[in-house]
């Protein structure tokens, strides 16, 4: 597993859809972009339905067009957002 620190969190809005994006950086300077399209997850544990929601409290809400260029490039390559 690669150890990387969270550098920035975004809640990205594009055409009414939202995704959560984390920018992480490893100790050697490599940037990683973590993308979550689903902010709410439902799962079953011990026959009980549980709900987990991504904590977006400290994320910056931003329009897609205002993201840094390198982040937009990664998003356009990885997903049809």
**Residues 18-40, mean pLDDT to the nearest whole number:** 91
Predicted TM-score (pTM) of this structure: 0.78
Residue 38 has pLDDT above 60, yes or no: yes
Query: Could you write out the three-class secondary structure of the chain?
Result: CCCEEEEEEEEEEECCEEEEEEEEEECCCCEEEEEECCCEEEEEECCEEEEEECCCCCCEEEEHHHCCHHHHHHHHHHCCC
The Cα 69–Cα 61 span in angstroms is 16
Residue 81 has pLDDT above 60, yes or no: no
Pairing label, strands 48-53, 40-45: antiparallel
64-80: pLDDT as tens digits: 999 999 999 988 887 66
């Amino acid at each position: 597993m690669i150890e990387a620190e969270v550098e920035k969190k975004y809640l990205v809005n594009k055409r009414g859809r939202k995704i959560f994006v984390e920018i992480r950086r490893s100790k050697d300077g490599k940037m990683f972009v973590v993308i979550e399209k689903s902010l709410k997850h439902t799962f079953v544990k011990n026959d009980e339905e549980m709900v987990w929601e991504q904590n977006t409290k400290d994320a910056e809400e931003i329009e897609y067009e205002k993201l840094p260029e390198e982040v937009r490039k990664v998003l356009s390559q990885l997903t049809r957002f």
